[in-house]
Amino acid sequence: MIEFSQRVQRTPRYPFSGAHDLPEDMVLMASNEVPDAPLPSVVAAIEATLGKANRYPDPTNHALRRALSDRFDVPAQRIAIGAGSCDLLMACGDVLLEPGAELVYAWPAFSVYPYLEAATGATGIRVPLNEQHEHDLDAMLAQITVATRLVIVCNPNNPTSTALPLDRITRFLEAVPRHVCVLLDEAYCEFNTLDDPDASVDLLAKHPNLVLLRTFSKVYGLCGLRVGYALCGDGRFVEAVDRIRQPFFCSITAQAAAIEALKHQDVIAERVERTVVARVELESALNELGIEPAASQANFCWFPLPEDGPDEAAVVKGLADRGVLIRGGTGQGREGFLRVTYGTPRDNARFVAALTQTLGR
Ligand SMILES: *Cc1c(COP(=O)(O)O)cnc(C)c1O
């Protein structure tokens, strides 16, 4: 019998959405994806790489870092690329954490954060969200000790959809000791209308301990290709995460698709507009069912199920039986809640109809 490491035993299983073995007409609202297929020009860029697949990708991701550097006015030496931003998230754990070190994050937040402590043997400290399902930054600050190496702030937060205004984040950063890395997970920042999504980039100049984690998986709609990036306050972070990962983590296809996708900011703006419309429409549909969702700044909503109705498992199943796949809160850290990704207007209408029936209204 082979023997597995402690790490395997410590590591939880990722709660998959179950979206890959389903009837064709199922509405997929479980993974915060956008419903749009890649743009024709992005598909063309992808296809152009396929005939070169006998060659390794550029391990420095030079062209993509250059494109991101031009877009955000951050030097390329301070930009890290990953095979999805989760690759950078795990790498961040590997370069900062070890047994005896501490990691602070809010809870519920992104279901991948607990993997960092499992992978490294560090101690994870979870700080409950406030009543509005938002990060409680003062409570997080109070958890920082000499052992703290990393604090993660997810803004907007997955699974609760809420965001904090940038001035609150700014004050937090000013209070965090310089030896602590602050990872601001901005996977959904483009959907946030509280602040200009690019305003946080200005914080990098003042805070070398800051890392902004972003992705092509969400508003850019390329999650199937796995490409994300980090804008960093210190180039040494980029060197560190590059040193500990396998050398060719981002495929030529993913790099080319990301570079092309960045050129179409008009399409990104349209997707954000559609999201804001869905946000308002779904909120009023939920209100009519007596449900109060959290204040969403993302492309999904988060809400408690009515106490006098069927429980979470029954609702998740009732929706699936009616062709709508969503996430129950239990796998996301809070029982009795649902997380629902906005789809097309037709998807959203199907969800509302299915929920109305499932709740027996
Ligand atoms: C989806 C998501 C990511 C991005 O994952 P990728 O690996 O880039 O696909 C990162 N953080 C949060 C909070 C997310 O919800």
Domain definitions of the chain by residue range: 6-38+266-359, 40-262
Q: What is the pTM of this model?
A: 0.96
For the stretch 236-239, contacts whose Cβ atoms lie closer than 8 Å and that sit 24 or more positions apart, written own/partner, are: 237/78, 237/80, 237/95, 237/181, 237/211, 238/77, 238/78, 238/79, 238/80
User: Ligand 1 in contact with 85 (CB < 6 A)?
Assistant: yes
Compute, in angstroms, the gap from residue 2 CA to the centroid of ligand 1. 33
Nearest CA to ligand 1 atom 2: 187
Compute, in angstroms, the gap from residue 174 CA to the centroid of ligand 1. 26
Both tokens of residue 67?
């494109």
User: Ligand 1 in contact with 190 (CB < 6 A)?
Assistant: no
Which residues of the chain, if any, have pLDDT below 50? none
Report pLDDT for 21: 75
Both tokens of residue 211?
């890392």
Compute, in angstroms, the gap from residue 272 CA to the centroid of ligand 1. 17
Structural contact between residues 133 and 302, judged by C-beta atoms closer than 8 angstroms: yes
Compute, in angstroms, the gap from residue 82 CA to the centroid of ligand 1. 11
Q: 6-38+266-359 in CATH: which number? A: 3.90.1150.10
Report pLDDT for 83: 98
Taking Cα atoms as reference points, which of 107, 130, 29, 22 lies closest to residue 338?
Answer: 29
The model's pLDDT over 204-243, given as tens digits with 9 standing for 90+, comes to 999 999 999 999 999 999 999 999 999 999 999 999 999 9
Report pLDDT for 167: 97
Whether the bond into 108 is cis, omega within 30 of 0: yes
Report pLDDT for 13: 85
Q: Please report how the helices 345-358 and 312-321 are oriented relative to each other, as an axis angle in degrees rounded to 10.
A: 130
Compute, in angstroms, the gap from residue 84 CA to the centroid of ligand 1. 7
User: Ligand 1 in contact with 26 (CB < 6 A)?
Assistant: no
User: Ligand 1 in contact with 160 (CB < 6 A)?
Assistant: no
Q: Which atom of ligand 1 is nearest to the CA of 110?
A: 13
Nearest CA to ligand 1 atom 3: 187
Compute, in angstroms, the gap from residue 212 CA to the centroid of ligand 1. 12
Fold that domain 40-262 belongs to in CATH: Aspartate Aminotransferase; domain 2 (3.40.640)
